[in-house]
Structure 1
Amino acid sequence: FPDQLTVSPVTLVARRDQEVACTAHNVTPANPEALSLSLLLGDQELEGVQALDWDVEEEPQQGEDQLLRVTQRWLLPPLETPTPLTLHCRATMNLPGLRLSHQRAIPVLHSLTSP
């Protein structure tokens, strides 16, 4: 379970509905259900998000092992924030006797234009 997470978009804008996607790359197909993806604000799961879809696709072959690319998409509510904040996409792999997590930051900007 390599630390290969990507997020789209790479930054978010406060006070607007947005879709965000988090993708874990090169996941072993033995048990894709053991993988969970979540959005965090600080140490807590983000409230008010709507899970849109969960895609599991094969990665382009890099050898004999089959690897998967797992993507979760969410619709975020407008983020009201007086201070700049950062969301995190967290991928967690739960295996018997082992729990691994990786995170990727998603900065939230106040607006697309700066004064």
Structure 2
Amino acid sequence: MIKIVLFCAAENTARLLVQKMEQEAEARDLEIYIKIFLERQIDEQFDEIDLILITPEVAYILPMVKEIYEPEGIQVDVISAVDFSIVNGEKVLNFALDLLEEKEVYC
């Protein structure tokens, strides 16, 4: 199972995006778990996650999140503003899988 944390400013659009990503993953027979957190929760402790995605409106937290989680081997990146704004679950899922492939979590 692929475990992803998504940091955002507000959950509304993020929740829609997660739903579309989960639908796309299900269509591909991929097991995926995505949990949404607000940007102020960057110090949370996460068990066995593979990837952290950050929504564009809170991209400023990228350096802080990388500093905390990359030493633990967790990939961190910001979602495309275009894909996020149009809630393109397929493209964001592809982006996530590409990041994980770089890390060799997903094959």
TM-score by length of 2: 0.29
Q: Say which structure is richer in helix.
A: 2
Q: Say which structure is richer in strand.
A: 1
TM-score by length of 1: 0.28
Task: Say which one has the larger Rg.
Answer: 1
